[in-house]
Amino acid sequence: MGGAVKWVKDCTMGTFLDADGQKGVVYDEYAIWMLKWGIDFLPSAQINSARNSDEDFLFFLQSKTLTSVLPPITSAVNIQIPPIVFKALDNDFPPPETFSMIAPLPIRKEAVADATKVSLDGAHEPADSGLNKEKLVIVGIIDDGVNVFNRRFTPNGRPSRIEYAWVQDAPAKQAGPTVFFGAELTSQDITDMLLHSGLTETEMMVAQGLTPGARGPYMPTTLNRPYSHGTSIADLAAGQDPALNKDGEVNTRLITVQLPALSVSDTSGASLISAAQAGAIYIFERALRMSLYYEVPIPVVLNFSFGISGGARTGQHFLERAFRALGEKYRQDVVTALNSETPPVVRVIAAGNENLMRLHANNNVGGDTFRLPVRVLPDDHTSSFLEVWLPQSTRSVKIKITTPDGQVFDVPEISIKPSTRHAAYILSEGGQQKDPVARVSLDEPLHELPREFQDDNPLYWRVLLAIAPTASNSTRRRLAPAGLWHMEVTPDANGQAMQAWIQKDQPVSGMNPLGRQPYFDDDHLGPGSYEATAFDALGDVAVDDPVPRRSVIARNGSLSGIASNDTVNKVDVNTKEDTVSVGAMRWDTHFAAPYSSAAPDGAMEQAPHVMSVAENSRVLPNLKTTGTLSDTAGFISGTSAAAAVVSGFLAGQLSALGRDDYGRFNPHCLIPRHGTGPKRPNGPEIATENKVRIARLKKDGVLLEMPSALSAYVSRDCARK
């Protein structure tokens, strides 16, 4: 790096006060780095063209609290979401006056509506009068680009089955906007475009702001490609052949949320979380409108096929808590308004695809110092992030960083006092808070939770290392050196568990080709390294950790950070069991897909509830779905595809369910009745005495065959019986 480079205390504190000086407001740690130090590396800075500049984008700070709206922050516009007042939620969410967190939401200026003109009181106006209200079920999709004009969502001769669609980064409507940012389409809007516009699907998407026009400002999107993740996920979950036009297909209605393109490509995950939470609020609010119109409690299946590699896996990630609370609020609102049965709500979450990516490490190999070798790749235009989680009993922590060029930096010892919730240092030249190449911080993400949620928490304090990109088209910031970074973390809570996860930095849906994935790399250690057990006795890729494991790098524990709902043991059991995490398997062998993520050591309660088909075979590693446009084909694999298949299965079951059975509905009981064995699928290698099967599936979990309604369409091998 050259020059006098050292750690300097970061004056950017993580705790702020609102305009009244009363409520505590906490910045997401990723947001602090991205907004203050890494703003030149954010996606908008990477997409400049002759028609586009940084000034075309604003980085809005949006409240992540579910119960109040923050005032505007200096030099930023606050995007307001309607306040939500919660009733009793079995202590699943803290009181509104205690906590609020904010994170960036990068969208275009033209996507922001005039808040004074936004109408939130609209009633549901059905476009299809031929629905059987007793069989209605709503599938909510939060994803990237969804082509709402694809014929897979519109039966022949009938209106679109997409009741509502929110395109979060579309140009805001100037007259009568119904959302604070982006644009909303109703089933009637979609149907009118299909029947009367005379435009092609591509032209309709441009006209409605789903994708930019050829002469408009550049905006990354997946909808200009033959395949788009969101369209395929919506198809697997609720798409049908339009020619069939059966009641069961018509009565499954969709509410879709297209996330902002820049949030999807933000590899830190910070703005994705904010956008996803806003999407869930929207889906349940629109579902409530439908229930009130039809005067029936409508079941909801919420599908979120994005994984998050950060988080402590304690069931208390902000999105997990948000989804639980919003689902329970919807149930209570319906019961209160209609004096009816409680509608079932199921949240379907992808388990993650990180089993073989070397993104997880834990310290159960021995020693009080957690030594983490992180390989940061050259030509990486995005920031890299490493989370290290420490036990709650920690009272001080020492941190040492060794850069790839051999410079060693000891971070001043951080003492944790009762009032300590945040401490941060930056690695910068000349002892100045300028152009840092790295930042390390300690924070307390769960401090706002009621005390009973904090007690006995094995992973509580978070150390976050942020590393600048190793390459950039910008010349305004220093670049971090590529190579092997060494981080050593030594808490005073000796001998207790510590875990670490690297945030994903891979292109999402092909949208961000400039990021390169860092990973844990201890190959230089020889026999004690991950590399020494990377292959099994037959020469195939090993999908399990050896016993004993000598490397800190672990395959187990790679489960998505928002798929650990079952570790929550102090919430209402019905609320907890409304979440289904889904792993991926191959159809031909019923083996778990090698990439399908696993639960941590000894934490079977975190393992996926079900595995569903996500691949046909080793040589055909995909499911066939619709392409972006009608009558085209796309191919998708991974736990996101498996989750969508399970969402479609559950929607079909709920549509056929009588209201008298709503109170007894439990997806954890229903799925096993339709699943098959073996209950814990083997991987491709043969287990030997020094190998152990990791928790890829719960002990009482099952494999779910491809539902018959989908198998003929999604499988390439249609002849297989």
The per-residue pLDDT for range 605-651, each reduced to its tens digit, is 788 889 998 888 878 788 888 999 999 988 899 999 999 999 999 99
**Which residue has tokens 């930019």?**
212
Is 668 a member of any domain? yes
189 and 303, same domain (yes or no): yes
In Å, how far from its chain's centre is CA 440?
Answer: 24
Asked whether residue 655 carries a pLDDT value surpassing 50, the answer given is yes
Q: Which of 232, 179, 183 is nearest to 206 (CA)?
A: 183
Question: Tokens 């998505």 correspond to what residue?
Answer: 560
Tell me, what amino acid is at 148? V
* Average pLDDT, integer, range 399-426: 83
Would you state the structure tokens that stand for residue 503, as one six-digit string?
């945030």
Question: Which pLDDT score is estimated for 15?
Answer: 42
Residue 518 and residue 595 in one domain: no
Q: What is the mean pLDDT of residues 110-125?
A: 83
- Do 461 and 589 have their domain in common? no
The answer on 320 and 176 residing in a single domain is yes
In this structure, how many other beta carbons lie within 10 angstroms of the beta carbon of residue 540?
Answer: 13
Residue with the bigger pLDDT between 643 and 544: it is 643
- pLDDT at residue 3, as a whole number: 44
The one-character DSSP state at 52 is B
Amino acid in position 30? Y
H helices of 438-488, where? Answer: 451-454
Task: Find the mean pLDDT for residues 265-290.
Answer: 85
**pLDDT for the residue numbered 599:** 85
Instruction: Determine the Cα–Cα distance for residues 164 and 121; give it in Å rounded to an integer.
Output: 15
Tell me, what CATH number does 483's domain have? 2.60.120.1290
In the predicted structure, residue 62 carries a pLDDT above the cut 60: no
Query: What letter represents residue 52's amino acid?
Result: N
As a whole number of angstroms, the distance between CA 84 and CA 365 comes to 46
- 117: in domain: no
Q: Is residue 21 part of a domain?
A: no
Q: What is the 3-state secondary structure (H, E, C) of 386-424?
A: EEEEECCCCCEEEEEEECCCCCEEEEEEEECCCCCCEEE
Q: Kindly state whether residues 239 and 310 are assigned to the same domain.
A: yes
**Does residue 13 fall inside a structural domain?**
no
Q: What's the rounded mean pLDDT across residues 355-378?
A: 90
Asked whether the beta carbons of 385 and 30 are under 8 A apart, the reply is yes
Q: What is the mean pLDDT of the chain?
A: 78
Q: What is the DSSP letter of 430?
A: T
DSSP annotation of 518 reads -
The predicted pLDDT at position 246 comes to 58
Instruction: Measure Cα distances from 393 to 259, 389, 460 in Å.
Output: 38, 12, 9
Q: What is the mean pLDDT of residues 193-204?
A: 94
User: 644 to each of 230, 242, 445, 611, 696, how far by Cα in Å?
Assistant: 10, 19, 30, 12, 18
The reply to whether 16 falls in a domain is no
pLDDT category, 511, cuts 50, 70, 90? Answer: low
Asked if the model's pLDDT at residue 112 lies above 60, the reply is: yes
Separation of alpha carbons 537 and 519, rounded Å:
25
Instruction: Say what the pLDDT of residue 50 is.
Output: 38
Instruction: Check: CB of residue 255 under 8 Å from CB of residue 164.
Output: yes
Q: Which has more confidence, 611 or 221? A: 611
Backbone dihedral angles phi then psi of residue 256, each to the nearest 5 degrees:
-115, 150
435 vs 370: which has the higher pLDDT: 370
**Which pLDDT does position 531 carry in this prediction?**
92
The percent helix, strand, coil of the chain (3-state, each to 5) is: 25, 25, 55
Q: Are 445 and 367 in contact (CB under 8 A)?
A: no
**Predicted confidence (pLDDT) at residue 128 exceeds the cutoff of 80:** yes
What are the beta bridge partners of residue 16?
25
Q: What are the tokens at 500?
A: 């670490």
Among 163-177, 522-536, 608-622, the minimum mean pLDDT is found in 608-622
How does DSSP assign 182-251, residue by residue? SEEEEHHHHHHHHHHS---HHHHHHHTTSS--TTS-----STTSS--HHHHHHHHHH---TTT--HHHHT
User: pLDDT: is 322 or 386 the higher one?
Assistant: 386
Residue 452: which residues within 8 A CB-CB, separation 6 or more? Answer: 91, 570
> CB count, 10 Å around CB of 191?
18
472 is written with which tokens? 């950039």
Question: Which one of 62-66, 223-227, 714-718 scores highest in mean pLDDT?
Answer: 223-227
How much is the pLDDT for 710? Answer: 54
Most confident listed range (243-252, 264-273, 513-522, 536-545):
513-522
| pLDDT grade for 39, boundaries at 50, 70 and 90 | low
Residue 465 belongs to domain spanning: 359-533
* Better-scored residue on pLDDT, 76 or 609: 609
- DSSP lists the bridge partners of residue 27 as 102
Looking at residue 189, what is its pLDDT?
95
Bridge-based pairing of strands 396-402 and 408-415 is: antiparallel
- Cα–Cα dist 126/188, whole Å: 8
Q: Which residue has the tokens 């969208």?
A: 107
pLDDT tens, position by position, 584-604: 988 877 788 889 998 877 677
Placement of tokens 């869930």 in the chain: 280
Range 10-23 average pLDDT: 43
pLDDT at residue 345, rounded to an integer: 95
CATH of the domain at 176: 3.40.50.200
- Do 150 and 292 sit in the same domain of this protein? yes
**Residue 475 pLDDT class (50, 70, 90 cuts):** low
Token pair of 144, please?
């990237």
Same domain, 488 and 383: yes
Residue type, position 68, single letter: S
Residues 234 and 277 in one domain: yes
Report yes or no on 15 lying in a domain: no
| Same domain flag for 331 and 378 | no
Residue 718 CB coordination number (10 Å): 10
Q: Is the peptide bond before 242 cis (omega within 30 degrees of 0)?
A: no
Q: Is residue 590 situated within a structural domain?
A: yes
Tokens of 594: 């090698």
Residue 111 is predicted with a pLDDT of 83
Q: How far apart are the first and last CA of the chain?
A: 61
Neighbour count for residue 174 (Cβ, 10 Å):
10
Q: Looking at the structure, tell me whether residues 184 and 257 fall in a common domain.
A: yes
> 707, 236 in Cβ contact below 8 A?
no
Q: How many helices (H) and strands (E) does the chain have?
A: 13, 27
At 351 the pLDDT is 94
Q: Within this chain, do residues 371 and 342 fall inside the same structural domain, yes or no?
A: no
When pLDDT is averaged across residues 497-520 and rounded to a whole number, the result is 82
**pLDDT value, residue 529:** 93
Judged against a pLDDT cut of 60, whether residue 431 lies above it is answered with no
Q: Using only the alpha carbons of the chain, give its radius of gyration.
A: 25
Q: Could you count the other beta carbons within 10 Å of the beta carbon of residue 73?
A: 18
Residue from 232, 356, 226, 165 nearest 640 by CA: 232
pLDDT by residue (tens digit) across 278-325? 899 899 999 999 999 999 999 999 999 988 888 888 887 878 888 888
Residue 402 lies in a domain: yes
Instruction: Return left, alpha or beta for 457; rule: phi > 0 is left, psi -120 to 50 is alpha, else beta.
Output: beta
Same domain flag for 241 and 159 = yes
Question: How far, rounded to the nearest angstrom, does the alpha carbon of residue 659 sit from its chain's CA centroid?
Answer: 32
Mean pLDDT value of segment 153-178: 91
More confident: 28 or 47 = 28
Q: Based on the structure, what is the number of domains in the chain?
A: 2
Cα separation, 54 vs 473, in Å, equals 13
Predicted confidence (pLDDT) at residue 459 exceeds the cutoff of 70: yes
Which residues lie below 8 Å from residue 417, measured CB to CB, with a gap of 6+? Answer: none
